[in-house]
């Protein structure tokens, strides 16, 4: 079911958005060469406890997950692009790391993701990350009242295709509110003018993610981490966005 939020409820979602942005900023800053992914998870967990927030991930067990996630942040490294389960791995120079985090504050959820390079970057990684960021900006710009979900999808896909990337449609954006994942689905490619109407009060996560040389993925033996089929690297950018009478409002802006 798709739920529309009142202006007052959207205001109540702002603290969750700010908190998610703060956690991503802190974990991204801490992601240095030699740092263990489990240390990043502990940092996020400590911030959740200090804020009195609630993790959206630790008990999360959808049909595509092998078991409850058990951690509070997704850490996807190199050929991993989504749902990266934190494990005993120390970051290395040149690693491409995506951090994806969702949490609830006072019962309202926000969800966002960033990709960063640890240490010395590769040009192709910077280009990939930049493409996801520009695709996110294009999708947000298309999230106008009176439009359609397809407008967002088409805007994201156009940026990806212009850079020569193919787009996987298995996972994309989604509704956000009292729970992390709701309707409508927001694909990362599509046709403008189609899909659910963009009405004021709709709150969605917009999240372009691309792989360098494929759009095929497989699930790691850990039962969660999604990796590229050919070993190429992935990047992912995401914001929680409210549709308002005045246009899109980014709730997870830093």
Residue ranges of the binding site for a divalent metal cation: 100, 111, 174, 207, 238
Phi, psi of 178 (to 5 degrees): -80, -20
Q: Which residues does 123 contact at the CB level (< 8 Å), separation at least 6?
A: none
Q: In this structure, are residues 116 and 99 in contact, taking their beta carbons and an 8 Å threshold?
A: yes
Q: How far apart are CA 105 and CA 103, in angstroms?
A: 7
- Integer angstrom CA distances of residue 39 from 31, 68, 72, 75, 89: 9, 20, 12, 11, 10
In the annotated binding site for substrate, the residues are 83, 181
What sign does the dihedral 5-9-10-13 (CA atoms) show?
negative
β-strands 182-186, 209-211 pairing:
unpaired
Phi, psi of 27 (to 5 degrees): -70, -35
User: Residue 230 is encoded by which pair of tokens?
Assistant: 């050919």
Q: How far apart are CA 65 and CA 144, in angstroms?
A: 33
Q: How far apart are CA 19 and CA 103, in angstroms?
A: 8
Looking only at Cα atoms, what is the longest distance across the chain? 48
């Amino acid at each position: 079911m798709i739920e529309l939020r009142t202006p007052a409820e959207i205001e109540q979602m702002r603290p969750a958005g700010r908190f998610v942005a703060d956690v991503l900023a802190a974990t991204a800053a801490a992601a240095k060469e030699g740092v263990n992914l489990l240390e990043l998870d502990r940092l996020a967990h400590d911030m959740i406890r200090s804020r009195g927030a609630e993790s959206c991930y630790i008990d999360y067990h959808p049909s595509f997950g092998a078991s409850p996630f058990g951690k509070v942040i997704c850490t996807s490294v190199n050929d991993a692009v989504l749902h990266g389960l934190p494990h005993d791995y120390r970051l290395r120079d040149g690693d491409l790391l995506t951090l994806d985090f969702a949490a609830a504050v006072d019962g309202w959820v926000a969800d966002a993701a960033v990709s960063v390079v640890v240490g010395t970057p590769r040009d192709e990684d910077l280009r990939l990350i930049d493409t996801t960021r520009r695709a996110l900006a294009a999708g947000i710009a298309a999230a106008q009242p009176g439009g359609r979900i397809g407008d967002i999808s088409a805007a994201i896909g156009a940026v990806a295709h212009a850079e020569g990337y193919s787009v996987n449609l298995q996972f994309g954006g989604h509704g956000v509110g009292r729970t992390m994942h709701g309707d409508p689905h927001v694909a990362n490619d599509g046709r403008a003018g189609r899909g659910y109407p963009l009405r004021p009060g709709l709150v969605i996560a917009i999240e372009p993610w691309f792989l360098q040389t494929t759009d095929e993925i497989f699930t790691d033996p850990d039962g969660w981490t999604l990796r590229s089929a050919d070993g190429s690297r992935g990047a992912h950018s995401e914001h929680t966005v409210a549709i308002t009478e005045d246009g899109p409002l980014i709730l997870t802006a830093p």
